[in-house]
Amino acid sequence: MTTRSGPDAVDSGRSDQGLDAVMSERRRLINLAYRLLGSLAEAEDAVQETYARWYAMRRQQQEAIESPGAWLTTVASRICLNLLGSARARRETYVGEWIPEPLPEPTEWISGRPGGATLDPADRVTLDESVNLAFMVVLESMTPAERVAFILHDVFRYSFAEVAEIVGRTPAACRQLASSARRRIRDSQPSAATAAQRAGIVKEFKQAWEAKDIDALIGLLDPDATAIGDGGGLATTFLDPIEGGEQIAHAWIEITRRRPGNMTFLERTVNGQPGVVAEQDGVIVTVFAFEVAGEKIKRIWVVRNPEKLRRWTTR
């Protein structure tokens, strides 16, 4: 990636090699910021702010930094830590439930920019277990400091001494924060299900849903299942979670009855896991993500907020 902007456009003395070394960190920073913030749009803004601070420095200041990558990580993490604090206040006024921004497979990403140009590979998030939606939802329950300490140490393998430098606490305190975060993760983890089992159950759910087979739907849902919708006040959805497998099954049958004739349901990967999307007139308008516990669906997340579906825009 060799795009130049800001002070770099004026400072012709800076070497392409040095610029490339700094910009090569972008993908890692996007990966980090998305896991910390749960929003790719906010992650991109945080990384842009990080680079703005880098280019605001004089060349001599930049050259005095022994590890630009470590500097960028520290600044990006601190920006995210501050954003997490303010995000909690913002989400108190959010209309309905707030669900992390779902992501499609990187190969499916289409830019919302004019001309339909595909996203730069550096802007893509690596989809592993640390970004499945169930995991991201648990991260939302953590304090900002817990989340940052856990992600930096357990996911990105920074030492607690390095984490302490970033969050402004002692290594011992950071160890305790990560330990607390780990307990939250363990307490929330469902019974193990293989990738094939998850895919099969989601496929069966979609087929039963389209067939309006209420008994089959109830059989696939855990009796204590929960469905959560996120329209953000910008799209119609249920504001309060739906509790109970039978109640969810009836709600999903009603969704099928009310859907427009030009809407289709398609199987898609959501944050690396089997999911379903609703497509209308060639545009994806809803993303359904699932948590499977054993052989039952334990949770369904329904994202309809169009601001969180920009990555799903089809050609």
254 within some domain: yes
Is residue 38 a part of any domain in this protein? Answer: yes
Q: Is residue 179 part of a domain?
A: no
Q: How far apart are CA 56 and CA 75, in angstroms?
A: 13
In this structure, are residues 148 and 81 in contact, taking their beta carbons and an 8 Å threshold? Answer: yes
The CATH number covering residue 225 comes to 3.10.450.50
Q: Provide the pLDDT for residue 18.
A: 63
The predicted model scores a pTM of 0.85
Which residues are paired to 270 by β-bridges?
Answer: 273
Domain finish residue from 95, 128, 143? 95
- The string of DSSP letters for 185-254 reads HHHHPPPP--HHHHHHHHHHHHHHHHTT-HHHHHHHEEEEEEEEEE-TTTS---SSPEESHHHHHHHHHH
CA–CA dist 32, 43 (Å, integer)? 8
CB 22 within 8 A of CB 68: yes
CA Rg value for the chain: 21
In a domain, 107, yes or no: no
Residues 179-221: tens digit of each pLDDT? 999 999 888 876 667 888 999 999 999 999 999 999 999 999 9
Q: Output the pLDDT for position 273.
A: 92
Using the 3D structure, point to which of 95, 115, 147 is the last residue of a domain: 95
Q: Write down which residue in 69, 95, 121 finishes a domain.
A: 95
Specify the pLDDT at position 192. 66
Count the neighbouring beta carbons within 10 Å of the beta carbon of residue 315.
6
For the chain, list residues with pLDDT below 50: 1-17, 108-119, 121, 315
pLDDT at 248: 98
How many domains would you assign to the chain? 2
Per the structure, the complete domain to which residue 250 belongs is given by 195-312
d(CA 230, CA 131): 18
Residue 49: inside a domain: yes
pLDDT at residue 188, rounded to an integer: 83
Query: Does residue 147 lie within any of the structural domains?
Result: no
Residue 298 forms part of a structural domain = yes
In a domain, 174, yes or no: no
